[in-house]
Amino acid sequence: MATVETVLSSIFSTIPELHSGQLGLLSGVLVGVLYWHGYRRPALALLTAFYLLALGIVPGTTRGLIVVQSNPWYFCSFLLVASLGVIVATAVRARVTRSSRRRTRRADGKPSDW
């Protein structure tokens, strides 16, 4: 009887699109973590570098990069979704933080922005 481990390992070892998608997701998370912690320009530069590597504009010789360049659609999709998700979340967090600071209360109990 097949176990979950054998089924998952056979799926992930035979379907290159999943490898490409996984690498894109992990790369997007890395870009997102850098962006979230305030490294805006390096995160966007890394996002651009990953994207150019996936499209084959910059040649690569490693095995993982060959998998990505054979299926760039999956890599680029997951890379952009993960990266832009964190960038949007950072913008929303900054906006909520700014609006909550403006809503500090005065001594009489009324909000200061009213």
Q: For 67-77, what is the mean pLDDT?
A: 81
The predicted pLDDT at position 98 comes to 81
Instruction: Tell me which long-range contacts 32-39 makes (C-beta under 8 A, separation of at least 24).
Output: 32/82, 32/83, 32/85, 32/86, 32/87, 33/86, 35/83, 35/86, 35/87, 35/90, 36/86, 36/89, 36/90
The predicted pLDDT at position 7 comes to 67
Q: For 92-102, what is the mean pLDDT?
A: 82
pTM passes above 0.95: no
